[in-house]
Chain A
């Protein structure tokens, strides 16, 4: 008898969808960060990059739609996986020790939704301009550099970005390791590299992104 529920029917399949959509979102986040680091080259470089991205709708929109779909699948699967475990231990232990669980793994269920809220805030802030009026350059194009710098000059905004990216770093610390395990990529020869990979990129993203509000704050970028 075939007891299979189909690929997505099991938590194993759901987690593979989470891993694949996670990889796509991670790649975007990485490229996004590298692009943003051009803020250190100067206003012209960052603005030119911003205009370049918006100048090809044939690429911009497919990327946006794919990312939106990834976010949706990642969240729906995460909620389903979480619900499955939620009812799995109705009577709790009086004493329970978890020697192997690290902080990042334990907080995935919190860091995820907070990052989602942050992404919405980030879009409202710098894409839709509903937090502060957006600045435009003399020739009427959006002044990415000015928007970022003036935004981060508000301590509250800078703190939101810093905290969110710290949580993103934690989320990636577990996620970038976990995805190998979930997709069945495991071999004694390279298994220790899975953790090293996750550490390097979690730190790179967190430090790269957080450096921007910190630099604005410190007055290095103005």
Chain B
């Protein structure tokens, strides 16, 4: 199949960047989107041009590196699909495809389609962890968790940190990512010890990064390749309110009478 690609090219973070149009004649509808970019890059290398820089690692939808804006939709807009899993079948022969990096002040463009998502890492460092005693693995079933709770926590744990929620949000807010992490911990007993401290610290860090503020557009939920629900955001908000509720012990946990 033939494709016309308008791709954002930017040499480095300082470069102003511009769109460059490429015509690709030997794309195949069984290729994934990244394989198509590989073919394009092969042609560019043969012509002695700089290949298009994009991030990728697993190519099976679990590492979260391959995010890009494709015709105005994060990851190309196929439900529950990352760019690496997006088949060219999704496009018509002869299609015009515009490919841009995530646009967010918190995600500066490093090169072409690669952005720096370290802001996410700093949010995780602020509180996206639990403290446990290391040593032998604990015996099975010593901590009982109902199946529904475990399943829901797993749904939230599916977040791969790709940044599509921020990229798709008209406000550039990072609520879905952050809340997926917080909700995952807040559902499980292991997450309770640091619950209050965690939500305060992670929201506080989000505030220091250059993300926008959520106004419940719900665009993130549609864009998320892992189909994380905005119920995660509601849960995080609930936890936030609880953490600041008068009479709570400093640093989390309930008062012990």
Residues of A within 8 A of B (CB): 1-5, 7, 9-16, 81-82, 84-101, 105-106, 108, 174, 177-178, 180-186, 188, 191
> Cβ of A178 and Cβ of B215 under 8 Å apart?
yes
> Cβ of A87 and Cβ of B105 under 8 Å apart?
yes
- Interface size of B as a range: 35 or more
Alpha-carbon distance between A84 and B212 when the two chains are bound, in angstroms: 5
Least Cβ distance of B174 to chain A in Å? 9
Residues of B within 8 A of A87 (CB): 105, 210
Of chain A, the residue at the smallest CB distance from B197 is A2
Contact A3 to B208, CB < 8 A, known contacts A93-B69, A105-B216, A181-B233:
yes
Contact with A along B129-168 (1 / 0, CB 8 A): 0000000000000000000000000000000000000001
Can you spell out 22 A-B residue pairs with CB atoms less than 8 angstroms apart? A3-B127, A3-B202, A3-B208, A4-B201, A10-B203, A10-B207, A11-B173, A11-B214, A84-B211, A84-B213, A85-B170, A93-B100, A94-B100, A95-B69, A97-B72, A100-B222, A101-B170, A181-B237, A183-B237, A184-B236, A185-B238, A186-B234
Of chain A, the residue at the smallest CB distance from B204 is A3
Least Cβ distance of A204 to chain B in Å? 21
Least Cβ distance of A187 to chain B in Å? 8
Of chain B, the residue at the smallest CB distance from A174 is B216
> Cβ of B244 and Cβ of A96 under 8 Å apart?
no
> Cβ of B105 and Cβ of A9 under 8 Å apart?
no
Alpha-carbon distance between A49 and B238 when the two chains are bound, in angstroms: 40
Contact of B98 among A81, A89, A94 (CB under 8 A): A94
Least Cβ distance of A199 to chain B in Å? 15
> Cβ of A88 and Cβ of B211 under 8 Å apart?
yes
Alpha-carbon distance between A15 and B207 when the two chains are bound, in angstroms: 13
Alpha-carbon distance between A211 and B6 when the two chains are bound, in angstroms: 52
Residues of A within 8 A of B91 (CB): none
Least Cβ distance of A109 to chain B in Å? 9
> Cβ of A16 and Cβ of B235 under 8 Å apart?
no
Residues of A within 8 A of B71 (CB): 95, 97
> Cβ of B217 and Cβ of A5 under 8 Å apart?
no
